[in-house]
Amino acid sequence: LRLWSGIAWIIVAGIIITLMLKGKEPGDELRGLITVFAFLASAWYCVVQYRKEQGESQS
């Protein structure tokens, strides 16, 4: 699970870095994109952590 979490963060970081290297100014569209990615990554991480805790409590 940690591996997938790490891969997700690498993908998000890669997208942000790519957009920055293209020289785009952080406009509303880019801010919205980053916000959505941050929200999805955070929500996904919370779900993964919750499932991990549920699995540990069951065993």
pLDDT per position as a tens digit, 2-55: 666 677 777 877 877 777 777 656 577 777 777 788 888 888 888 888 888 888
Whole-angstrom Cα distance, residue 36 to residue 29? 11
| pLDDT number for residue 15 | 78
Structural domain that includes position 49? 2-58
> Considering its fold, how many domains does the chain have in total?
1
pLDDT of residue 8: 75
